[in-house]
Amino acid sequence: MKDWIEIAALDDIPRLGARVIRTDTMDVAIFRTRDDQVFALRDACPHRGGPLSQGIVHGTSVSCPLHNWKIDLASGQALGPDEGCTNVFATRVEDGKVYLALKAGEAAA
């Protein structure tokens, strides 16, 4: 069982945009795509830790604001030709509310 935490209404996150969640250990970026899919990544670019939440979202990827690496929202992987990845967290949208599973070991694949 995952521990789902309610974090926001879907409409609190701009379409093709992101919001940041402060947790005790790190910042998590929550992204919303054009078709209302929601993804969560650790808010740190695999390159030099840039805040991915501040990047430009397109399709199901985000371009980092610092040096323009492209990160896949679903896997946290840098898209070619760059290499690296950041943590992914499971999300769920129900009745217009966004839920997040943060616990270690419960990161989505």
Positions touching another protein (CB under 8 A) are 5-8, 12-17, 19-23, 27, 30, 33-34, 50-51, 54-59, 63, 65-68, 70, 81
- Work out whether 47 is an interface residue with ligand FES (CB under 6 A): yes
Q: Taking contact as CB under 6 A, which single stretch among the options 20-28, 32-40, 46-54, 99-107 is the one that binds ligand FES?
A: 46-54
| DSSP-derived 3-state class of residue 71 | strand
76 lies in the binding site for ligand FES (CB under 6 A):
no
For residue 20 the two structure tokens come to 């940041």
Q: Which two tokens stand for residue 24?
A: 């005790």
Beta strands in 51-106 (DSSP E): 56-58, 61-63, 70-72, 88-94, 97-101
